[in-house]
Amino acid sequence: MGDHTKRTAAITSAGIRIASIIFLRWVALPPIGPIIYTLFAIYVPTFISAYFTESKYEVVDEVDVVLKEDILNKDEVANGTTDEAIVVEEVDVEETAAVVEKPLNPIGTLLKGTPSPNSLLLTALTFLINAACVAMVTDMVYSPRWFHPSHDLSFARVGYVSDTEAKLLVREPDQLKMPITIQVHIKDAQPPFDNPLWQTVGSVVSTTNETDYTAVVTIPLSHSKQRVYEWTTSNNHSGEFTSAPKPGTMPELYGGKFTFLSTSCIVPRLPYNPLDHPLAFPGMKHLAKVLPDLGAQFMLFLGDFIYIEVPKRFGESVENYRQKYRQVYASPDWPAVGQNLSWIHVLDDHEISNDWDKNSTGVYKTAVDPWHHYQTAANPPAAKKVGSQGLIARQGATYFSFTQGPASFFMLDTRSYRSKNSEPFDSVNKTMLGETQLEDFLDWLRRPEQKGVKWKIVASSVPFTKNWRVNTKDTWGGFLVERRKILEAMWDASNLGVGVVILSGDRHEFGATSFPPPKDGKWPESATVHEFSASPLNQFYSPIATYMQTDDEDVELKYINSGNSKFGAITIEKFAEGEQSSLKYTVFIDGVDKWNTVILSPESAHPAKTGGSFWDRLRGL
């Protein structure tokens, strides 16, 4: 009985420690938490029972063996009558049984997690190791909810910034601070052309629980040139932002380079450190260190801003979802990356539920309530309707488009309209975008851009390549017919003199892929589409490679799986003195520049018009 109890304690102890290391330092899978608590519930009584039932003593048998030899024919040997001595061996065996204290085995006790009957100190220490594992798991899972619900969070952040306006999202639950006024001025103003004075540009009269006490103020930017603006609110928030270069023009700042960032996927306090704040994001610290040197215009965040079920789903109410958003913005690491940088967002599954493919049914409407208040409200304009010549926005769309400097952007919604992931990969009716979004997206791809716009940037929450071999059905690899239709439209775009680049996330790895047109097709090699998929900003990564090229359709350029924090910096600038443009992609892993590449925009086969009628010029053709 005693041996069985001790063995059970040892097995459960090993399970607690291994599971805790996985949960705290690698991946906080929701099922692991209950497993750890169950193992601890078994461990405690077996540990106590083993301590009190195991004897402090053990029986030690001591055996003394004495060998005696005697010569029987001593006389004969002595007088020389014989040369051969007859030897007789006599063995005396004496056995003594002794009861002694069991010797201490400190290393074995601490490693196995089993009690030592002769040492209360070792017993306590080995128990405390397992108790500490459970306490740290509890800290990671419950401390944000218990101690940081962030109901009273007050903050302001910069959303979409164009050349004419900027959106500022404000959250303030304290109505005694109303109305909130917003002021801006040009930083490092250059008189007489710049006005250095602070100007009141908007206000928030009140906030209500209907929007979780958030409001958006649109700030008009009257200066015709690109400038850095400082902003402040009457409820003590401040920061700065850079106005965007006009569509078709290169930036006047940052050496004429247009730079923006992309990444996705954040979970607080992973890898776990007991000394970190419960809402800490180590990946944001990595980003904050390099951000001042990048000259970034904005962060294009590609989904999974929250993980509703990680490390534990506490419910499916609106408040459960809202709290997750508040906790990100309440993080002590947020201001360093969010006060002075525009963030714009696309939707992915963990803002709703893992691998979401149920459209707007079920928990969808509850889940997107805070998404709209915290993200959509401060996002770029909704994408333009097909057939509207790029002039009329699609009302109620959850996908977005805009143009800044040398690039036009389309931010896809890959969750709200998709078919079931379980449908055949090559089904002709299977869709990720839905009919309306697909039409609007294809229209954007086919639409000529105004002079100076050399790139079409597609933001997709999930990878476009089919090279990721784990859960391929949730990526574009599971929607092959629609993917092919989009690829052909992307290749067609090269005839307009623009390069197409896809930015994605979701995989918690980095992969760079090219999609060359068929060798015997109608498109030149310069029509090749490129994808850069970088994530997470702060989450687990797979130690086992999951990306693999299997054909010539999706060509691997670079793959890196390691690193808890990954983000990409995209820099566009003029190429030499010609009409082409270069795009440099750099991936940062755990804050270090790990890899980069440069691609060129194709030369236009059919140059876009630069004159024409008033309506042509208005459309940018």
Instruction: Please determine, for residue 619, whether its predicted confidence score (pLDDT) is greater than 70.
Output: no
Instruction: Please determine, for residue 611, whether its predicted confidence score (pLDDT) is greater than 60.
Output: no
Q: Are 47 and 114 in contact (CB under 8 A)?
A: yes
Of 579 and 139, the one with more pLDDT = 139
Q: Is the bond into 381 cis (omega within 30 degrees of 0)?
A: no
Of 196 and 81, the one with more pLDDT = 196
**Region of poorest pLDDT, from 52-61, 208-217, 342-351, 410-419:** 52-61
Instruction: Please determine, for residue 338, whether its predicted confidence score (pLDDT) is greater than 70.
Output: yes
Q: Is 504 helix (H, G, I), strand (E, B) or coil?
A: strand
Report, as an integer, the average pLDDT of 339-352. 98
Q: What is the pLDDT of residues 346-386, one digit of tens each?
A: 999 999 999 999 999 999 999 999 999 999 999 999 999 99
Of 225 and 577, the one with more pLDDT = 225
Q: What is the pLDDT of residues 497-551, one digit of tens each?
A: 999 999 999 999 999 999 999 998 899 999 999 999 999 999 999 999 999 999 9
Q: What is the pLDDT of residues 577-600, one digit of tens each?
A: 778 999 999 999 999 999 999 999
Question: Which pLDDT belongs to residue 618?
Answer: 39
Contacts of 75 (CB under 8 A, 6+ apart): none
DSSP-assigned letter for residue 386: T
Q: Are strands 296-301 and 258-263 parallel, antiparallel or unpaired?
A: parallel
Question: Which pLDDT belongs to residue 620?
Answer: 38
DSSP code per residue over 134-189: HHHHHHHHHHHHHH---TT--EEEEEEE-SSEEEEEEE---GGGPSEEEEEEETT-
Q: Residue 488 — very low, low, confident or very high, per pLDDT cuts 50/70/90?
A: very high
Report, as an integer, the average pLDDT of 435-452. 96
Q: Residue 436 — very low, low, confident or very high, per pLDDT cuts 50/70/90?
A: very high
How far is residue 591's CA from residue 239's CA, in Å, rounded to a whole number? 23
Question: Which pLDDT belongs to residue 607?
Answer: 53
DSSP-assigned letter for residue 561: -
Question: Which pLDDT belongs to residue 64?
Answer: 76
